[in-house]
Amino acid sequence: MQVSINFTKQNPSKMAIIFLLFPFLLAAQNAPFSIHLEPVNIPNVGGIQSYAFAQHEGKWLIIGGRLDGLHRRQPWATFDVAGHNTSLIVIDPVAQQKWTAPLASLPVPLQEQLSSTNMEFAQDGDHLYLVGGYGYSATAGDHVTYDKLTAVDVPGVVEAIIAGAPIAGFFRQKTDAQFAVTGGHLNKVYDTFYLTGGQRFDGRYNPMNGPSFTQTYTDAIRKFKLLDDGTTLTVAHLPAIVDADNLHRRDYNVAPQIMPNGQEGLTAFSGVFQKTVDLPYLNCVNVDSSGYSVNNDFSQYYNHYHCAFLPLYSASQNEMHTVFFGGIAQFYDSLGVLVQDNNVPFVRTIARVTRDADGLMTEYKLPVEMPDLLGASSEFIPNEGLPMFPNGVLKLDELPDGTSFVGYIYGGIASSAPNVFWINTGTESTASSQVYKVSVVKSGTSATHQVNAQSRSSLHMQVFPNPNNGEFSVKFNLKEIVPVQWTLTEANGAVLEKGTLTDLELGENIYRSSSTKLKAGNAYFVSLKTPDETASLKVIVTE
């Protein structure tokens, strides 16, 4: 399932509900801060998801995105023109005012791209740079991923929209096939722009893999330098980083980071789809000006799809925290137990991933949750008055003790149930109009965050399908070729089968089990043990 551009899995025959329990994985730990959400009701603000934004003097500029909820399955109904956002929107969250200007006064190429969904975007000073995006193009007579880079004069267009003045002079656009990307992220690391992941998707979405579209992942980080003199956009493309195994990702979160060495960088969290199964990645990719590295010693179980996120760095502790707000995920917590659902449902989870001074990453579940099934395709809009690094990472140590307002969460998809895609008639979800004020509380709190010990495992163990009829596959990762012991036990601990797996490879491995000892209606545990670690999952057998 894709949410940032709202594509769903391409092959429904591969879908299976998985309900796996990870006993005793969560342990409480004192938190370096806590998070507080407060709803803010802005009259007539309107719902929107998968949009781009910029800020000027506390006012938001909203461009593109969808006005409806999760896309429908039927090719004729999905990503229809009626759901396009065909206006530029300015919102003052303090004065609770909203202004709009139609795109119709702009040249057609600008109208089309600026009404698309899931553009990559980055604000650099007074300019917002927009790349790609997906939507219906009347010029092409079909749905396309736009091959455009557009520069927006943010102060100019915000002031013009408020004044009701012409807006055309505040946009410049450049055509370049390297920018035909949707579902990725655009960030600036020092003086270089990074277009990380994403895909080119042309044609009408079809969940049955019909011939109505073409789809090509970039499998890359496309780097470029941009010279903008206010009139001309000059792009100098740099050699791309290409990795078809690890950068085959879209519709996810790429967060600015401060790395343990103090340098600015990025982390690509999760993303879809894995090369061997239609499920999210659990590992992450770290990127800086010297290159990239894949972290297979960390597994992210929560917040897999694009959602609002907040990056905070503590220089005194050399800890990088990234907080994720709701969205869609393959896993969620139920009464302290990690549950796996391969339908990848909407969730309420708020979690953080913390990287320590040694580069070790750990996932924590926060006690607060999103008020509803919210967060997918939403954005976190930071409080501009706070101390931040140039890449937007909040300086946690410089926040005063007590409660600090750090920004807002706006928009996204609000779902009526965790799994609505297969019954989606267009009414089961909406584009959220709710705004949440987000605060960080640094002291005077006894809040604890729950450590997900499984996140520290490099095995990335998963079982599919589950429930099953006694035949299932166990997927796991090896960072070195070592003996792997396999054990299948009953719920009471009695061993049914055990052995040592052979013919293993570095990286991903799949072991297929077909046991005649498993009985319908029962639950079993499958465990893997290496010299360094152990992982165990619950398997449910049905008729």
Strand order in the sheet with 523-529: 495-501, 484-490, 523-529, 534-540
Find the mean pLDDT for residues 391-417: 97
What tokens does 245 get?
Answer: 């195994």
Whether the pLDDT of residue 380 is over 60: the answer is yes
What is residue 445's predicted lDDT score, i.e. its pLDDT?
Answer: 59
Query: Which amino acid is present at 232?
Result: T
Unique residue bearing structure tokens 């896993």: 331
Q: Is 177 helix (H, G, I), strand (E, B) or coil?
A: helix
What is residue 457's predicted lDDT score, i.e. its pLDDT?
Answer: 83
474 Cα distance to chain centroid: 25
Q: Is 109 helix (H, G, I), strand (E, B) or coil?
A: helix
397 Cα distance to chain centroid: 26
Q: Please provide the DSSP assignment of 9-26 as one string.
A: -S-GGG------EETT-E
Mean pLDDT in the chain?
A: 91
542 secondary structure, DSSP code = -
> Per-residue pLDDT tens for 267-306?
999 999 988 788 899 999 999 999 999 998 899 999 999 9
- Say if residues 349 and 450 touch (Cβ distance below 8 Å): no
- Say if residues 443 and 517 touch (Cβ distance below 8 Å): no
Q: Provide the residue count of the chain.
A: 543
Find the mean pLDDT for residues 405-430: 94
201 secondary structure, DSSP code = E
Residue 541 φ then ψ, to 5°: -105, 130
* CA–CA–CA angle 40, 416, 438 (5° rounding): 25
Whether the pLDDT of residue 210 is over 80: the answer is no
> Per-residue pLDDT tens for 435-484?
999 999 997 656 789 999 889 888 888 888 777 888 999 989 898 999 99
- Say if residues 182 and 134 touch (Cβ distance below 8 Å): yes
SS3 content of the chain, % helix, strand, coil (to 5): 10, 45, 45
CB atoms within 10 A of CB 73: 18
Cα 486 to Cα 511: distance, rounded to the nearest angstrom: 10
What tokens does 140 get?
Answer: 């092409």
Find the mean pLDDT for residues 201-216: 89
Whether the pLDDT of residue 10 is over 80: the answer is no
Q: Is 408 helix (H, G, I), strand (E, B) or coil?
A: strand
What is residue 502's predicted lDDT score, i.e. its pLDDT?
Answer: 87
The confidence band for 238, taking pLDDT boundaries of 50, 70 and 90, is very high
What is residue 444's predicted lDDT score, i.e. its pLDDT?
Answer: 63
147 Cβ contact partners less than 8 Å away, ≥ 6 residues apart: 132, 175, 176, 177, 179, 180
Domains of the chain: 12-454 (2.120.10.80), 457-540 (2.60.40.10)
Q: Ramachandran region of residue 45, left (φ > 0), alpha (ψ -120 to 50) or beta?
A: alpha
> What is the percentage of the chain residues whose pLDDT exceeds 70?
94
Query: Which amino acid is present at 55?
Result: Q
Unique residue bearing structure tokens 């770290």: 286
- Say if residues 481 and 504 touch (Cβ distance below 8 Å): yes
Pairing mode, if any, of strands 361-365 and 448-452? antiparallel
Find the mean pLDDT for residues 371-376: 97
Cα 16 to Cα 7: distance, rounded to the nearest angstrom: 18
Whether the pLDDT of residue 15 is over 50: the answer is no
For 185, 451, 510, the CA distances from 538, given in Å and listed in that order, are: 36, 20, 17
> Per-residue pLDDT tens for 315-366?
999 999 999 999 999 988 877 767 778 889 999 999 999 999 999 999 999 9
What tokens does 375 get?
Answer: 């967060």
Maximum alpha-carbon separation in the chain: 76
What is residue 18's predicted lDDT score, i.e. its pLDDT?
Answer: 39
CB burial of 452-483 (b: ≥16 within 10 Å; e: otherwise) equals bebbebbbbbbbbebbbebebbbbbbbeeeee
> Per-residue pLDDT tens for 484-522?
999 999 988 899 999 999 899 998 899 998 888 899 988
- Say if residues 330 and 279 touch (Cβ distance below 8 Å): yes
Cα 357 to Cα 161: distance, rounded to the nearest angstrom: 46
